[in-house]
Chains A and B, each alone.
Chain A
Amino acid sequence: MLYIKCPHCGLRSQNEFAYGGDASVKRPELNKEISDQEWDEFVYLRKSPRGKHLELWHHVSGCRQWIKVLRDTSTHEIFNTYKSEEKVG
């Protein structure tokens, strides 16, 4: 079970969190005309990298904040965690 450092609450066990997928995905702006392909990529297509992955976790059983976690998908090493508004990299 992962041990995730919530930037608001501190170290908490994984069972307090829900996984939220790739954190680098950006929702297309409202009212902007975009192609079918761009939209499909946003809705459906995700990379599944082996190694470093910036991902979203929701501290559902804690402060209810969405946070960003930089994690290695194969070793589960967590390099850093960020608040939702923090810029990463």
Chain B
Amino acid sequence: MLQNYRLDKIGLVNREKQLSFKFNGKKYFGYEGDTLASALIANGVHLVGRSFKYHRPRGFFGAGVDEPYAIVQLYRNGETEPNVRATEQELFEGLEAKSVNCWPSVNFDIGAINNFLNIFLPAGFYYKTFMWPRSFWYRIYEPFIRKAAGFGVASKEHDKERYEHKYEYCDLLIAGSGPSGLASAYAAAKNGARVILAEDKPRFGGSLLTSDVSINNQSGKEWADNIITELKGMTNVTVKNRAQIFGYYDHNMLVMSERVTDHLPKSEEFTPKQRLWYIRAKQVVISSGSIERPIVFGNNDTPGVVLASAAKEYMKIYGVLVGKKPVVFTNNDSAYETAIEFKKNKINPIVLDSRQDSNSEIIKEAKSLGIDIKFSHVVVAAKGYKKVKSCDIAEISEDKQNLNQIKNIECDCICVSGFWTPTIHLASQSGGKTKFKEEIDAFVPDKSKQKEVTLGSANGVFTLEETLKTSFDKGFELSKSITNNNNSQQIPKVSEKKHSKHDKFWCVPLPKGKKYKRFLDFQNDVAVSDIELAIREGYRSIEHVKRYTTLGMATDQGKTSNLNGLQLVSNIENKVVPAVGHTTFRPPYTPISIGAIVGREIGKHSKPTRKSPMHNWHEKNNAVFVDAGVWLRPRYYKRGNEGLFEASKREAENVRKNVGVCDVTTLGKIDVKGPDAAEFLNRVYTNAWLKLPVGKARYGVMLREDGIVMDDGTTTRISENHYHMTTTTAQAANVLSHLEYYLQLVWPELDVNVVSTTEQWAGAAIAGPKSRDLLQKLFPDTDVSNEGLPFMGFVEANLFGVNARIFRISFSGELAYEVNVESDNGNFMWEKIIEIGKDFDLQPYGTEALSTLRIEMGHVAGSELDGRTIPYDTGLDGLVSKKKDFIGKRSLLKKAYNEKDRQRLVGVVPLDKKTSIPEGSHLVKDPKGKLPNPKLGHISASCWSVEHNNPFSLAILKDGKNMIGSKLYAMSPLKNKTIAVEIVSSHYVDPKGERVRS
């Protein structure tokens, strides 16, 4: 297979290693070290896509991150990725890519009809067209726009690749490895600073790779290679290629995306595809370089129109010609390097220079090589549809208003250079201001806001000598301020060609009678006429012009278009560019994949998983688990073909009849210690705590300051100044922060300490009529009789040689105990209970049975204490002390909290005693009432009452206190159910609470 546009010798690709790849189904060859773009150009492929709006043919414009055109759909290792820039994607064996935004093919694209209808697609087309009728929006307009929008398709498969996050700290972070980056990194590293040097491209060196300079009698590339080799060998330096610093955030936090294996056919196991680095740097050097900007002329989007610097890069790095009959169109000296490179490779370029004359060193060299240079000449329009075939050129008057002697010349590419735009994105993101620099017609960073400095061409400095000098100085100075070392490096001798002034010319006028499209934004098809229209229609702010016309939007964010857009707006408005200002630079600088942002926190790793010490036993005994916050808890223990309903019913019945054991390790546990602990609890809980004796537990409710119930639980006085507090599983962390807040900030005079002991204790709840008999066998030396260990009693005991705490507390409403042992002994305790429990028909029960037991008892939990209820609502008002003050008490005086028909906890039973009521159902009076049907309350929790053998629910109901006995309807539009119900007491079982005291 021939690579017709590949040069013989020059370039940095590895010609020993040929790679095959497919583009739009056709097989091609390239070399290791190619990008997809350079390999395609080597094969003479210039048509790679279609533009966004008009579906005009699209080729390559740049050679890197600024590329607006060559966006492809990539296929790699069975996965697909949209929005891949062909100019950045490195070639690997077997790579496959396809064009986007075209159908049925890039060569014959139906959508191209838009190009001929373009008079109907002006700026703001969508805003003007899809306004009416309103009802069309969802059904017709929106689906249509969605279909037309975007490049490529996102995969619907789960992304199997691995992405990682990394946190790093350094003295000096350097963004970009061009001359300023290398020099400052070297100076700082040699002075002992910890340096991270990041390069977006695979190769280090930036402009040194392609520019014709010498440093200390070495070529730019040799000098760069030597510096990098030395830096890599230093332990205080991290050097990363394929790493784009894309965001500058607060307090010198920068984020870098490292494309670890995007350049390989597939990622190795445990190797990430991409890695996101969060870097906190003491100082930042922004050496991000500059991007060449185009000159605007007719049909300047035709494939074959490229940036002059890109043409040079394709030759010098990849050994590839963008064309064999080039026209170089420039307003400055730098494009002459491209022309000279063509000439060196035996290609004859024609140079059109908009300036009247120039006689700098480089132009003399070009002349001496016999290059055809036409001053005061411009390209009027490119000709050709899918590739440049020729162009109209003309002489331009001194005032740049008039074109004379228009003639057509043959060519196959137009290399354009409208001077350079500093890449100031990072400097601007840091919060610093920018200023307009007249000499270069572009913005540069003004005063730094954070600890950062911008060097080299990113700062508008375009001579190597000055760049190296300031960069060596800055690297030394910044590192000295951090390390206090004093090792400065000698600044190398530089030889480079001096450039003369560029021409402020940026847009070729239209010849009389011609209506060529002159594009500003190539990715979004924004032409000069669109901006003119937007301004005629009254848009003034550059931010509005941007959004109305889409100038500078989409994946390239206007890297090549923004400044020309500003020039145009300022020309029309008769302002200077700085008066128009620029749009805001926001991170990310380049698109970042969602996978990299998410990192490893996916699936089960999206949150930590906490397991109790008895987890393995549950697993071995067919537990089906449920997420309870970050804990995994057994929901039920499956026997045979049982489902959730059968198993939980069996388990709950067994608790009511015999005895069950439930893992309650997950309950939050907080040690409260200190001489003022009782006083503190008295302020935290709504009920009285000062007189709780040692060895006794008490149920308590705590409020937020706004009177809403925050949490509930039992707290036990272990000894004089030591309390053991329990919280619900879900609120454990919040309660601890809440207690710390009051102890540290509100009542620092209280001598109390709190600490979480949740993980120190394993807990087992033993519940049921036979629980005391079982307990006696577990603790033969302890008196667990009703007198020895009464309801709400606490005793420390010995469980076969292991220290244990026994609390006589009950959530199930049965005679019940909770046994705690140190976590390491949790499994031992559990197995002992199971073993000895066999004699009492003990069964383990999960959270579903636990819920059933508490619901039919009318005990409240998270679904009632839902952050919207006060003690009265949940029937806890009896626990609110009238005598003492406590957190949130003053709020309970609020008028709304004391309305006569205030909502209250009730029980709900379906009239047919069969139909379970979906949780979340609304309670209404009239099931056929007009919408919105007034809601009287909602079902908070539902279960199958094992005591009554029918469904039972709890609800929070308006005027619930007076509604007992009334008939309502529970409606669930989600489940499409309407159920006739009766309101009953929330205490459906053992309303007098005799069992817990038995």
With A and B bound together, what is the CA distance between A73 and B249 in angstroms? 15
With A and B bound together, what is the CA distance between A75 and B449 in angstroms? 10
Q: How large is the interface on A (under 10, 10 to 19, 20 to 34, 35 or more residues)?
A: 20 to 34
Considering only CB atoms, which chain A residue lies closest to B746 in the complex? A27
Query: Is A62 in contact with chain B by the CB < 8 A criterion?
Result: no
B737 touches A39 (CB 8 A): no
With A and B bound together, what is the CA distance between A13 and B893 in angstroms? 42
Query: Is B788 in contact with chain A by the CB < 8 A criterion?
Result: no
With A and B bound together, what is the CA distance between A77 and B733 in angstroms? 29
**A contact residues around B748 at 8 Å (CB):** 84-85
Provide a sorted-by-A list of 15 A–B residue pairs whose CB atoms are within 8 angstroms: A1-B249, A1-B250, A3-B251, A31-B885, A34-B890, A42-B705, A43-B705, A43-B706, A60-B737, A64-B740, A65-B740, A76-B250, A76-B251, A78-B251, A84-B744
Interface centre among B278, B683, B741, B890 (most CB of A within 10 A): B890
**A contact residues around B167 at 8 Å (CB):** 13
| Residues 31-69 of A at the B interface (beta carbon under 8 Å) | 31, 34, 36, 39, 42-44, 56, 58, 60, 64-66
**A contact residues around B253 at 8 Å (CB):** 1, 3, 13
| Residues 725-779 of B at the A interface (beta carbon under 8 Å) | 733, 737, 740-741, 744-746, 748
| Known contacts A13-B280, A43-B891, A75-B431, A84 near B745 by CB under 8 Å | yes
**A contact residues around B706 at 8 Å (CB):** 43-44
Considering only CB atoms, which chain B residue lies closest to A29 in the complex? B885
**B contact residues around A2 at 8 Å (CB):** 250-251
A66 touches B740 (CB 8 A): yes
**B contact residues around A1 at 8 Å (CB):** 249-251, 253, 278
**A contact residues around B746 at 8 Å (CB):** 27
With A and B bound together, what is the CA distance between A75 and B433 in angstroms? 13
Looking at chain A's contact residues, the main secondary structure is loop
Across the A-B interface, give the 10 residue pairs with the lowest CB-CB distance, nearest first.
A3-B251, A30-B885, A76-B250, A84-B744, A31-B885, A66-B744, A1-B253, A39-B890, A27-B746, A43-B705
With A and B bound together, what is the CA distance between A60 and B756 in angstroms? 12
Considering only CB atoms, which chain A residue lies closest to B280 in the complex? A3
Query: Is B252 in contact with chain A by the CB < 8 A criterion?
Result: yes
With A and B bound together, what is the CA distance between A13 and B255 in angstroms? 14
Contact with A along B476-506 (1 / 0, CB 8 A): 0000000000000000000000000000000
A28 touches B890 (CB 8 A): yes
**B contact residues around A28 at 8 Å (CB):** 890
Considering only CB atoms, which chain A residue lies closest to B754 in the complex? A64
Query: Is A88 in contact with chain B by the CB < 8 A criterion?
Result: no
Instruction: Name the distance in Å between B753's Cβ and chain A's nearest Cβ.
Output: 11
**A contact residues around B705 at 8 Å (CB):** 27, 42-43
A30 touches B744 (CB 8 A): no
Instruction: Name the distance in Å between B253's Cβ and chain A's nearest Cβ.
Output: 5
Instruction: Name the distance in Å between A75's Cβ and chain B's nearest Cβ.
Output: 7
**B contact residues around A66 at 8 Å (CB):** 740-741, 744-745
**A contact residues around B278 at 8 Å (CB):** 1
**B contact residues around A85 at 8 Å (CB):** 744, 748
**A contact residues around B251 at 8 Å (CB):** 1-3, 76, 78
With A and B bound together, what is the CA distance between A60 and B885 in angstroms? 28
> B745 contacts which of A18, A30, A56 (Cβ < 8 Å)?
A56
With A and B bound together, what is the CA distance between A64 and B745 in angstroms? 13
| Residues 889-928 of B at the A interface (beta carbon under 8 Å) | 890-891, 893-894
Instruction: Name the distance in Å between A58's Cβ and chain B's nearest Cβ.
Output: 6
A30 touches B737 (CB 8 A): no
Instruction: Name the distance in Å between A61's Cβ and chain B's nearest Cβ.
Output: 11
